[in-house]
Amino acid sequence: MPTADGELAIETRGLRKTYRSVRGRRVGVEGLDLQVPVGGVHGFLGPNGSGKTTTIRMLLGLVRPDRGTASIFGHDVPRHLPDVVGRVGAIVESPKFFPAFSARANLRLLADGIGAPRERVDAVIDQVGLSGRAKDRYRTYSLGMKQRLAIAATLLKDPDLLIFDEPTNGLDPAGIHEIRRTMRGLGDQGKTVLVSSHILAEVEQIADTVSIVARGRLVASGSVAELIGGQGGPAVRVGLAADDVAIATSLLTSRGLVVRREDDALLVDGADAATVNRMLGEQGVWAGELTVRRADLESVFLGLTQHEVPGGRDHRGGRRRRKEEARDTTSGAGAASGPGAAVASTTMGEDA
Ligand SMILES: Nc1ncnc2c1ncn2[C@@H]1O[C@H](COP(=O)(O)OP(=O)(O)O)[C@@H](O)[C@H]1O
Ligand SMILES: [Mg+2]
């Protein structure tokens, strides 16, 4: 969805990446067309193994696509990544900090490394809500705080686009909440945040728009409201005495409503609770329970991706996969070698 002036933060066309494996070629991403509008939070959703990390690595020049094109703010990547990398902050896998240093000391080192002004350090610590703990050693931090510090590091050069690959992995509910709030806050400040996840519920509440991928292909995209709307809107669940179920069904269907049976209750599609209640009451049928049930993205997501076996392909050949991964990373076009890429490389973790 382009903005008014048509600018997209990220666009890919026909992006494809296969990996060589002992069993032949394995598809990482298969002809992916992705459009991420400027501003706000964009959820990049798909089951494990659906190609999210591969896509992000291609955008950052860490993996070379076999085919297709990708651009960030209109600059072709990886070719023109150096022109735009200063506007991009990313966390791919877990970043590394010095355990015995405080948050502030860690960030000062990074800021010096990328030539960001030191005033930025306190600003970004504040932005992720770590001011109260800025002087404490990194190793005393909770996982959620560690991840927020990683986000702070990506903010040092005040990027316009933030790319977070499964930033809530391994966090407890409180940590997930912290990261969500931080990402939502960045979106509200006008940044573009691309956040990948295999758990829909983790991004559903904070995403303005989403792209859903399965087996390396885009299967749906749009605003959360549009995707849910495509599912037919809310339904009303009507709990009834067993004797009343048949009569209520014929009553409501005769008034043009679509009714489904669910246990001892009826699910009425696309009507509001008051209407249903009145229709039944007028005929002397009284509902014992009325609940509005919104269609949620979860059902859209499951419907689109249910043929996936989560992580299925990753269970075998773990050692071999790591080897292939190492080979691929070194052959990447190298976001880390472009000018201003220091934040990206320091926060991109072990194998960047
Ligand atoms: N370095 C690699 N070598 C071989 N296969 C890989 C490599 N990276 C990813 N894959 C495969 O590509 C597919 C997509 O993986 P990935 O991009 O990591 O998905 P996601 O991030 O959505 O879980 C999976 O089948 C995965 O096993
Ligand atoms: Mg991944």
83 and 173 in a single domain? The answer is yes
Kindly report the average pLDDT of the chain as a whole number: 82
Do the Cβ atoms of 241 and 266 come closer than 8 Å? no
The reply to whether ligand 1 has any atom less than 6 angstroms from the CB of 313 is yes
- What domain range is 154 assigned to? 8-229+298-346
Judged by its nearest atom, the ligand closest to the C-alpha of residue 321 is 1
325 and 269 in a single domain? The answer is no
Ligand 1: nearest atom to the Cα of 47: 22
Here the CATH number for the domain that contains residue 198 is 3.40.50.300
174 and 286 in a single domain? The answer is no
Count of CB atoms within 10 A of residue 336's CB? 18
Per the domain annotation, does 3 fall within a domain? no
209 and 330 in a single domain? The answer is yes
Give, for ligand 1, the residue of 19, 200, 313 to mutate: max count of ligand atoms closer than 8 Å to Cβ: 19
The reply to whether ligand 1 has any atom less than 6 angstroms from the CB of 54 is yes
Q: Going by CA atoms, what residue is nearest to atom 7 of ligand 1? A: 325
Do the Cβ atoms of 53 and 32 come closer than 8 Å? no
- Dig out the tokens for 329 from the structure: 């990373």
Distances (CA, A) of 111 to 106, 134, 280: 9, 15, 67
The reply to whether ligand 1 has any atom less than 6 angstroms from the CB of 87 is no
The C-alpha atoms of residue 61 and residue 17 are separated, in whole angstroms, by 13
Per the domain annotation, does 133 fall within a domain? yes
Q: What is the mean pLDDT of residues 109-132?
A: 91
Per the domain annotation, does 2 fall within a domain? no
Q: Going by CA atoms, what residue is nearest to atom 5 of ligand 1? A: 19
Ligand 1: nearest atom to the Cα of 329: 1
The C-alpha atoms of residue 35 and residue 31 are separated, in whole angstroms, by 13
| Phi and psi angles of residue 192, each rounded to the nearest 5 degrees, phi first | -95, 125
Sorting pLDDT into bands at 50, 70 and 90, what band is 95? low
Q: What is the mean pLDDT of residues 243-270?
A: 88
The residue with greater pLDDT, 141 or 95, is 141
289 and 302 in a single domain? The answer is no
Q: How many domains does the chain have?
A: 2
285 and 159 in a single domain? The answer is no
The reply to whether ligand 1 has any atom less than 6 angstroms from the CB of 21 is yes
- pLDDT tens digits, residue range 176-194? 888 999 999 999 999 999 9
239 and 324 in a single domain? The answer is no
pLDDT, position 271? 80
Q: Going by CA atoms, what residue is nearest to atom 26 of ligand 1? A: 49
222 and 275 in a single domain? The answer is no
Q: How far is the CA of 94 from the centre of ligand 2 (A)?
A: 12
Q: How many residues does the chain have?
A: 352
pTM over 0.75? The answer is no
The C-alpha atoms of residue 286 and residue 276 are separated, in whole angstroms, by 10
Question: Which residue, 276, 293, 310, sits at the end of a domain?
Answer: 293
The C-alpha atoms of residue 263 and residue 261 are separated, in whole angstroms, by 6
- pLDDT tens digits, residue range 2-34? 444 558 999 999 999 999 888 888 899 999 999
Residue 46: CA count within 13 A, CB half-sphere = 25
